[in-house]
C-alpha cells in the first residue's frame, strides 16, 4: 500500500510540474507575441518616417527645379 501512495504522490508531483510548464510556455508565447507586435509597430513607424522624408525630398527637388527655370 505504501508503494501505491508513493506512486500516487509522484504522479501528482509530475502533473503539477507539467501544469507549471504549460503555464510558463504560455507566458513565453504571450511575451514573444507582444515583442513581435512591438517590432512590427516600430518597423511601420520607421517606414512612415522614411516615406515622409522621401516625399519631402521629392518636394524640395521639384521646387529647386522650378526655381532653376
What's residue 60's pLDDT?
Answer: 85
What's residue 26's pLDDT?
Answer: 96
Residue 49 has pLDDT above 80, yes or no: no
Burial annotation 12-35 (CB, 10 A radius, 16+ → b, else e): eeeeeeeeeeeeeeeeeeeeeeee
Task: Dump pLDDT digits (tens) for 8-41.
Answer: 999 999 999 999 999 999 999 999 999 999 999 9
pTM of the model: 0.56
| CA pair distance 54, 41, nearest whole angstrom | 20
Burial annotation 43-53 (CB, 10 A radius, 16+ → b, else e): eeeeeeeeeee
Amino acid at each position: 500500500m505504501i508503494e501505491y501512495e508513493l506512486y500516487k504522490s509522484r504522479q501528482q508531483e509530475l502533473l503539477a510540474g507539467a501544469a507549471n510548464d504549460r503555464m510558463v510556455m504560455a507566458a513565453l508565447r504571450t511575451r514573444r507575441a507582444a515583442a513581435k507586435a512591438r517590432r512590427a509597430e516600430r518597423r511601420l513607424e520607421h517606414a512612415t518616417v522614411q516615406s515622409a522624408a522621401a516625399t519631402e525630398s521629392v518636394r524640395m527637388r521639384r521646387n529647386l527645379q522650378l526655381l532653376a527655370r
